[in-house]
């Protein structure tokens, strides 16, 4: 069975380690916060200017001066801090953030990523994504393996305008966990019940399969 969006987030949460500062993008990445083990200490950064982001507020306690990068009302945890946008991107560009998790429309076997524009159809803007992918050492992309029409989103080359080049190292999809190494996707794990052949069929880019590929553990 292909994973749900929640299960993708749950699998990615296993990559989050004690002491990490983590930036979560909009969409599936936001869900990762719900699955991080509670016996480790992690701080979430939102690029609009908070470190130590907490859960959504209780009804009636929402504050218009306290939102995340998705413009959702949030709370601040003990030890949180607020800062301006230039300082926020100093954290990001200066590689002080340990892990960046973001969504994508397309990724390639070279680590290129496209996630901000569909020419003539959808132009929302890149927000902080270009700064994040250009600077982060440790980027995980959370995405569906194929689009609604069934076409692969793991490609040899992006068809959409790029967000960054040679930057993605790990991809977690509804079908698989993959790394990007030496210009190829490398299959690490399968979603439970999904075969290597199904993953190969859904991957347009070059896919390296070495030995027996285990199923994901949650």
Rule CB under 8 A: choose which of 5, 14, 93, 169 binds other proteins: 93
Q: How many chain residues bind other proteins (CB under 8 A)? A: 56
Rule CB under 8 A: choose which of 127, 189, 199, 202 binds other proteins: 127
Using CB under 8 A as the binding rule, whether residue 161 contacts other proteins is answered as yes
Per the annotation, the verdict on 62 as an active-site residue is no
State the DSSP H helix or E strand holding residue 181, giving kind and residue range, or none if neither: strand 176-181
Measured from the CB atom, the residue of 7 and 88 that comes closer to other proteins is 88
Least Cβ distance, residue 11 to other proteins (angstroms): 24
Locus of tokens 């946008």: 85
Q: What is the Cα–Cα distance from 162 to 184, expressed in whole angstroms?
A: 18
Q: What is the Cα–Cα distance from 97 to 45, expressed in whole angstroms?
A: 8
Locus of tokens 């993605």: 168
The stretch near other proteins (CB under 8 A) out of 9-17, 111-119, 184-192, 206-214 is 111-119
Classify residue 142 by burial, with Cβ atoms within 10 Å: 0-12, 13-18, 19+. Answer: buried
Interface pattern 46-75 for other proteins (x via CB under 8 A): xxxxx----xxxxxxxxxxxxxxxxxxxx-
Least Cβ distance, residue 165 to other proteins (angstroms): 4
Least Cβ distance, residue 160 to other proteins (angstroms): 11
State the DSSP H helix or E strand holding residue 31, giving kind and residue range, or none if neither: helix 28-31
Q: What is the Cα–Cα distance from 192 to 212, expressed in whole angstroms?
A: 14
By annotation, the residues acting in catalysis are: 47
């Amino acid at each position: 069975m292909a994973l749900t969006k929640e299960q993708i987030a749950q699998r990615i949460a296993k990559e989050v380690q004690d002491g990490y500062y983590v930036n979560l993008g909009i969409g599936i990445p936001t869900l990762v916060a719900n699955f991080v083990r509670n016996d480790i200490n992690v701080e979430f950064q939102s690029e609009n200017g908070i470190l130590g982001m907490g859960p959504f507020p209780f009804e009636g306690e929402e504050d218009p001066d306290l939102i995340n990068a998705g413009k959702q009302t949030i709370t601040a945890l003990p030890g949180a801090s607020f800062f301006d946008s230039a300082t926020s991107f100093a954290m990001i560009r200066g590689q002080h953030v340990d892990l960046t998790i973001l969504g994508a429309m397309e990724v390639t076997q070279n680590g290129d990523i496209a996630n901000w524009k569909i020419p003539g159809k959808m132009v929302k803007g890149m927000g902080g994504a270009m700064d994040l992918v250009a600077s982060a050492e440790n980027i995980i992309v959370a995405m569906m393996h194929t689009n609604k029409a069934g076409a692969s989103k793991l490609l040899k080359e992006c068809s959409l305008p790029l967000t960054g080049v040679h930057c993605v190292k790990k991809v977690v999809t509804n079908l698989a966990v993959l790394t990007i190494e030496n210009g190829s996707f490398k299959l690490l794990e399968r979603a439970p019940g999904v075969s290597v052949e199904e993953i190969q069929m859904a991957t347009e880019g070059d896919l390296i399969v070495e030995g027996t590929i285990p199923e994901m553990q949650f």
